[in-house]
Chain A
Amino acid sequence: MSSDFTDGDEPREFVHDDDGGPDPETHCGHGRGGMGEEVRRKEDKRFITGRGNYIDDIKKPNMLFCDIVRSPHAHARIKNIDKSRALDVDGVVAVLTAEDLLEHDLATMPTLMSDTQDVLVRDKVKFQSQEVAAVIAEDRYAARDGADKVVVDYEVLDPVVTAEEALKDDAPVIRDDIEGQTDNHCLDWETGDKEATDAIFEEADVTVSEQMLYQRLHPAPIETCGSVADFDPGKDKLTVHMTSQAPHIHRTLFSQVSGIPEHKIRIVSPDVGGGFGNKVPIYPGYVVSAAASYVLERPVKWIEERSENIQSTGFARDYDMTGELAATEDGRIQAVRTDVLADHGAYNAVAQPSKFPAGFFKIFTGSYDVDAAYGSLTAAYTNSAPGGVAYRCSFRVTEAVYLIERMVKVLADELDMDPAEIRRKNFIQPDQFPYETPTGWNYDSGDYEAALDKALEMADYEHYREEQQRRIENDADKLIGIGISSFTEVVGAGPGKTCDIAGVEMFDSCDIRVHPTGNATVRVGVQTQGQGHETTFAQIVAEELGMDVDNITVEHGDTDTDPYGLGTYGSRSTPVAGAAAAVAARKVRDKAKSIAANELEAAEADIEWDRQSGEFHVAGAPDRSITITDIAASAYMNHPASEEPGLEAVDYYDPPEMTYPFGSYIVVVEVDRETGEVDFEKFVAVDDCGNRINPMIIEGQIHGGLAQGIGSAMMEHVTFDDNGNVTGGDFMNYLLPTAKEIPNFETGHTVTPSPHHPIGAKGVGESPLVGSPPAIVNAVVDAMAHEGISHIEMPMTPDRVWETLDSVGLSRDPSDSFEIEFGDTGAEPADD
Chain B
Amino acid sequence: MEFSGEFDLADVPPEKAWVVLSDPYAVRNSLKGCRYITPKDEDFSFDTYEPEEDVETLPDADPDDVAARAFQEGTEYAALMQVGVGSVKPKFETTVTIDERDEEEFIMTATGSGNASSSSFSMNSGMHIHPSEDGDGSRIEWWTEADVSGRIAQLGSRVMNPVANKIVGNFFKDIEKQMSDVEATDSSVTDRIRSLL
Interface residues of A (CB under 8 A from B): 70, 72-74, 85, 88, 128, 147-149, 151, 154, 156, 307, 311, 721, 723, 725-727, 729-730, 732-733
Contact = CB atoms under 8 A, between A and B. Distances in A.
Nearest to B86: A732
27 contacts: A72-B120, A72-B149, A72-B150, A72-B153, A73-B149, A73-B150, A85-B47, A88-B47, A147-B117, A148-B116, A149-B47, A154-B120, A307-B151, A721-B156, A721-B157, A723-B148, A723-B153, A725-B148, A725-B153, A725-B154, A727-B154, A727-B156, A730-B154, A732-B86, A732-B155, A733-B155, A733-B156
A725 B149 contact: yes
Contacts of B156: 721, 727, 733
B188 interface: no
B149 A128 contact: yes
A274 B99 CA distance: 53
A70 B154 CA distance: 14
A72 B118 CA distance: 6
B33 to A, nearest CB: 17
B119 interface: yes
> Which 7 A-B pairs give the minimum distances between C-beta atoms?
A72-B150, A725-B153, A72-B149, A148-B117, A72-B120, A727-B156, A73-B149
A733 B88 CA distance: 14
A151 B115 contact: yes
Contacts of B154: 307, 311, 725-727, 729-730, 733
A151 B47 CA distance: 12
Contact of B153 (A154, A156, A311, A721): A721
Given A307-B151, A726-B154, 15 more contacts: A72-B118, A72-B149, A72-B150, A72-B151, A73-B120, A85-B46, A88-B47, A151-B115, A156-B149, A721-B156, A723-B147, A725-B150, A727-B153, A729-B154, A733-B155
A693 B46 CA distance: 63
Nearest to B87: A732
Contacts of A88: 47
Q: Is the interface of A mostly helix, strand, loop or mixed?
A: loop
A311 B157 CA distance: 18
Interface residues of B, number: 20
Nearest to A154: B120
Contacts of A70: 118
Contacts of A723: 147-149, 153
Looking at A88, A151, A725, the one whose CB has the most chain B CB atoms below 10 A away is A725
B47 A128 contact: no
A71 to B, nearest CB: 8
Contacts of B117: 147-148
A72 B47 contact: no
A148 B115 CA distance: 9
Given A721-B153, A729-B154, A733-B156, A72 B119 contact: yes
Interface string B152-188: 0111110000000000000000000000000000000
Contacts of A154: 120
Contacts of A147: 117
Contacts of A73: 120, 149-150
Looking at B46, B116, B118, the one whose CB has the most chain A CB atoms below 10 A away is B118
B4 to A, nearest CB: 20
A147 B119 CA distance: 12
Contacts of A727: 153-156
A151 B118 CA distance: 11
Nearest to A159: B149
Contacts of B149: 72-74, 128, 156, 723, 725
Contacts of B155: 727, 732-733
Contacts of B122: 156
B83 to A, nearest CB: 14
A125 B47 CA distance: 27
A553 to B, nearest CB: 44
A365 B117 CA distance: 49
A112 B160 CA distance: 38
Nearest to A76: B149
Nearest to A152: B115
Contacts of B151: 72, 307
B76 to A, nearest CB: 15
Interface string B42-56: 000011000000000
A246 B50 CA distance: 52
Interface in B114-141: 115-120, 122
Interface string B1-35: 00000000000000000000000000000000000
Contacts of B120: 72-73, 154
Nearest to A149: B47
Nearest to B117: A148
Nearest to A311: B154
A74 B118 CA distance: 12
Contacts of A726: 154
A596 to B, nearest CB: 66
Nearest to B153: A725
A479 B192 CA distance: 75
A311 B118 CA distance: 12
Contacts of B147: 156, 723
Contacts of B150: 72-73, 128, 725
Looking at B119, B150, B153, B154, the one whose CB has the most chain A CB atoms below 10 A away is B154
B111 to A, nearest CB: 14
A147 to B, nearest CB: 7
A307 to B, nearest CB: 7
Contacts of A156: 122, 147, 149
Interface in B68-83: none
A147 B154 CA distance: 19
A732 B157 CA distance: 14
